[in-house]
Amino acid sequence: MARMMELLFITSSSLYLISMITALPTTTPEPRITTLFGLDSDDITTTVTMEENAIDNFNYINLNECNCGRRMTRYPKIINGSNAVHGNNPWMISLLLNNRHHCGGSLINGRWVLTAAHCVYRVPSSRFRVKLGSHLRSNNNTEPMSTILDNVLAIAHPGFTFTTFQDDLALIRLPETVSYTNYIRPICLPDQVTARQIQKKATVIGWGKLKQGGASAETLQQVDLPIIDNDKCINWYREMGKMLTIRPTQICAGFEEGGKDACQGDSGSPMIITDNYSKRSTVIGVVSAGIGCALPKLPGIYTRVSAYLPWIQKTMKRYDRIYNEKPKLPFSPAAISVNNDDVITTEKPEQIVMTSTISELNDETKEPEHDNLWALVSPTPSSQLQLIETNETMESENNNLTWTLITSSPMK
């Protein structure tokens, strides 16, 4: 059960619906072990230990745009799936790597895309492009309704590694706020009420391979899959000789007999449910992993989006602040030269100046608190703005502080 209150407000550009929800306590599941195979790798096997509850107890504001999850077309609605109607999934994006389709994703507001962490992990953001409003996989610029954006910022969940496939979720910040059309619209994120609803079926869309080892789909595909109880899914895998335990932060979906599934190339694509009354669509899962494609009793594994709502909201808020506000400099960086991911040491400033909306200062020491964000600007106009973040545990020695560079993308 949960208490819910909805507020409506209008900004200069968008109408928003705020759902304020207070969740009641939940029980913590037992630790589990999971063996996963990456959808974009043929031989990755991993073991994952579940450490905490998938849905923490928290109070939060779910900021979904009022027009999220709505299709502008009048049509009813990936293996052995069917061709999706153009415009029926206007939130679907193609993540291009080196100008070729790499993964899927979903637009969750005018500035942000949701995808899988293994799609972007340790790949420079400069190599990615995001294609919106597209119905075809090929990047030949023949679709007048589509648009391609460069200079995106990819942010993988900090808990993800390829050795575990844990926390397989990522956000991509677009360089500009996109204009909505019949073919470009956001999908809704789940709220805490949606997260606890029992669903029997979901739709997965993507441009992945039409069969294991086969060719990728040229036209966007969609397939309806039954959502499998995690314990039942575990038993199916064990019957097939796979000692697999699904974590609460994951969803299992597929048919006992196989035949329909996500496959390579579908990674990062959304798993969607649509409310029969409001006709709104919500992304509840992200294509993450599996063993083979569409095999009997080996359903696909999806990242459960509702388990990561706090991280999604915190990350979007944090990076929107970084790029929308330019703090004053606490010291002159003219003599500092850094590269991406470098650690630099600089003299502690006598007085720190920072906009209060970016960070809070310790009034006694005038030193930045944990998680404050700072900006270093090169003295040359052609150089990029570089953002750095204080270490989680700051140590002051000989009047010096250590700083870590987190991105060198230009501020928008």
Is 370 known to be catalytic?
no
The structural domains of the chain, with segments of one domain joined by +, span 26-53+66-320, 327-412
Q: Which of 86, 94, 106, 168 is catalytic?
A: 168
The one catalytic residue in 106, 146, 267, 306 is 267
Residue 56 falls in the annotated catalytic set: no
Taking the domain 26-53+66-320, which CATH number applies?
2.40.10.10
Is 320 part of the annotated catalytic residue set?
no
How far apart, in Å, are the Cα atoms of 205 and each of 47, 89, 155, 237, 260? 27, 8, 22, 24, 12
Active-site annotation holder among 86, 101, 102, 118: 118
Sequential DSSP letters for 236-281: HHHHTT------TTEEEE--TT---B--TT-TTPEEEEE-TTT--E
Tens-level pLDDT at each residue, the chain (412 residues): 333 333 332 222 333 332 322 233 333 333 332 223 333 333 332 222 233 333 333 333 455 666 787 765 544 334 444 555 677 889 999 999 988 889 999 999 999 999 999 999 989 999 999 999 887 766 665 666 788 999 999 999 999 978 767 899 999 999 999 999 989 999 999 976 566 555 688 988 888 655 555 555 667 888 888 998 989 888 888 887 877 768 899 999 888 665 554 555 578 999 999 888 888 899 999 998 876 665 667 888 899 999 999 999 999 999 998 887 544 333 333 333 334 343 444 444 333 333 222 333 334 433 333 333 333 333 333 333 333 333 333 333 333 444 333 333 333 3
Looking at residue 399, its amino acid is: N
Would strands 300-304 and 281-289 be described as parallel, antiparallel, or unpaired? Answer: antiparallel
Cβ-based neighbour number of residue 8 at 10 Å: 9
Per-residue b or e along 46-59, where b marks 16 or more CB atoms closer than 10 Å to that residue's CB:
bebebeeebbeeee
